[in-house]
Structure formats: structure tokens, C-alpha cells
A = this chain, B = another copy of it.
């Protein structure tokens, strides 16, 4: 029985849900779904419903139940209930190990201990959604024989992420100590104004790193142009609204950096970030 009184966020699962909510509610966020912008097929409601639906999987992650890959698969499955397509696949790739481990050190232990079964579960998770991936080689997630290849080579989930890391900044976080998530967390903690912190830190990430989701969807030139325009906004040389419209008109949505931002908010909350002060 719960007791009366203030107790949120109390757990790592709470912090993960809060991070997902604060990320999507930050506005304006160039190119991505936010309070002021939906895409026709993916709306703000879908991101919030995905946040709610992820709860059991996040609780499993916190209790370390069922294997890390299976928990990611469960999270993706639960949030595929809405009609909005992929909302949080990449975010779960970051949040599940972070919630599992409680912090970055714990997450790194957890990913090192993953198994081939975890890798296979991730491949099943892809089949639950329509995540865009560029087929690169014989470990293409859309190739039914890839699971056999994983088993033959004895690749665990960390090996799979390391394999994807050169082309995927979310996978890269598993291999570089969650570097960008930590950077985002540090920037959030340093922001003087919590109410606009997520928006500002997101823009600074966007100005510093080409989003690999944009690379996959539009190619490296567009990803770099997006990064340069974000930097121009930061320098005050371009209006944020104009940049947002430029992104939306071209369907340029920096989805991987949004995932990183969620990981960063999660870490900052764990270090006592006062989002509501």
C-alpha cells in the first residue's frame, strides 16, 4: 500500500519515464515531434503513451528480470501498441541498460554480461517495429539468416552494438561508456534555467554531432548540414523557428540525438537534477 506524500521519481523506472516525458515535451525541438509539432503518422500522444506502456519493461530492467535483450524486446513490444510507429526504440537501447545498472558503471557491467540470447532478442525486437536500418552486411536485422549468423559467431548483444557502432550513435554509447549521454547530463546539470534546459542542451548536441538517424535516412551531407545549421542557431545567426521549419519541411528528424537526450536526462535525474525548480 502506497503512503501519502511526495515520492516521484522514487525509482530508476520512474526516472526513465520522467526522462522520456521531459524529452518529448521540450519545445521547440528542431525536426522532432514536440508540443508544437506532430508528424502525420506519429504524434505527441504516441510518445506519451509509449512512455506509459514501457512501465512493466522498465520495472523488469530495474529488477534485472529476464535478460537485457528480452527486456528491450518487451519494451519495444509494449510500446508498439499505438499506431504511431517507432517512438522509443533507440531510447530503450540506452535506458534499459542504464536502468538495469542504475548508473553508467552498472550499465557497462550489464552490457558486458549480455549473451547471444540477448542479441537474438534484439533482432526479434526489430521485427516488432519498423525501425529504419541501412542493410550493411550479413548481420542485417531484416535477414532471417542473421540470427543463425549471430549464434555461429557467438556474438552477444555488446558485440552486436560494437558491430553497429561506426554507423549508429546509439549503439556507440554501449562501446564508449555512454559518452554522449553523460555529456548531455553534465550540460543539463550546468544549465541555469531548468524550464528551457532540455531544449538548449538538445540544440547543443545537434550543433556538435551529426545524427546517425539522419545519416541513414538522408545521407551524411544532410546530417552535416543539419549540424551546421544548429550551430548557426546557437551562434544567433539563424532563427530557431526557421531551422525547425527547414527540418520539418524535409522530414529531417534527429531521432538518435533525441534518444541520447533521454539517456542524458535519466542520468541527470539520478544525480539530483531539479527539473522542476
CA distance A5 to B78 in the complex (A): 6
Interface of A is mostly: helix
Asked if A153 is at the interface (CB within 8 A of a chain B CB), the reply is: no
Contact B70 A1 (CB under 8 A): yes
Q: Which single residue of chain B is at the shortest CB-CB distance from A82?
A: B276
A229 within 8 A of B: no
Copy tally for this chain in the complex stands at: 2
- A4, A22, A52, A74: most-surrounded residue (chain B CB, <10 A): A4
A77 vs B7: C-alpha distance when bound (angstroms) = 8
Which B residues are CB-close (under 8 A) to A53? 7-9, 14
Contact B1 A52 (CB under 8 A): no
| Interface-side segment among A54-62, A170-178, A257-265 | A54-62
Residues of chain B within 8 A of A52, CB atoms compared: 8, 14, 17-18, 21, 51-52
Contact A45 B22 (CB under 8 A): yes
8 A Cβ contacts from A64-84 to B: 65-66, 70-71, 73-74, 76-84
B8–A78 touching, CB < 8 Å: yes
Given contact pairs A18-B52, A22-B45, A83-B276, A2 touches B57 in the complex (Cβ within 8 A): yes
Q: A6-B78, A35-B35, A276-B83 are in contact. Are A25 and B48 (CB under 8 A)?
A: yes
Q: Which residues of B contact A95 (CB under 8 A)?
A: none
- Interface 1/0s, chain A 78-92, versus B by CB < 8 A? 111111100000000
A125 at the interface (CB under 8 A from B): yes
Shortest CB–CB separation between residue A37 and chain B, in angstroms?
Answer: 10
Provide the residues of chain B in CB contact with A78, threshold 8 Å: 2, 5-8
Q: Is the CB of A81 within 8 A of B7?
A: yes
* Chain B positions within 8 Å of A22 at CB level: 45
Contact indicator B4/A21 (Cβ below 8 Å): no
Taking the complex as formed, is A124 at the interface, i.e. its CB lies under 8 A from any CB of chain B? yes
Given pairs A1-B70, A5-B78, 10 additional interface contacts (CB within 8 A): A1-B65, A3-B74, A6-B81, A8-B81, A18-B49, A21-B48, A49-B276, A55-B55, A82-B276, A83-B276
A interface vs B, CB < 8 Å? 1-9, 14, 17-18, 21-22, 25, 35-36, 44-46, 48-49, 51-53, 55-57, 60, 65-66, 70-71, 73-74, 76-84, 124-125, 128, 276-277
Q: Lowest 6 A-B CB distances belong to which pairs?
A: A4-B77, A8-B53, A1-B66, A6-B81, A2-B74, A2-B56
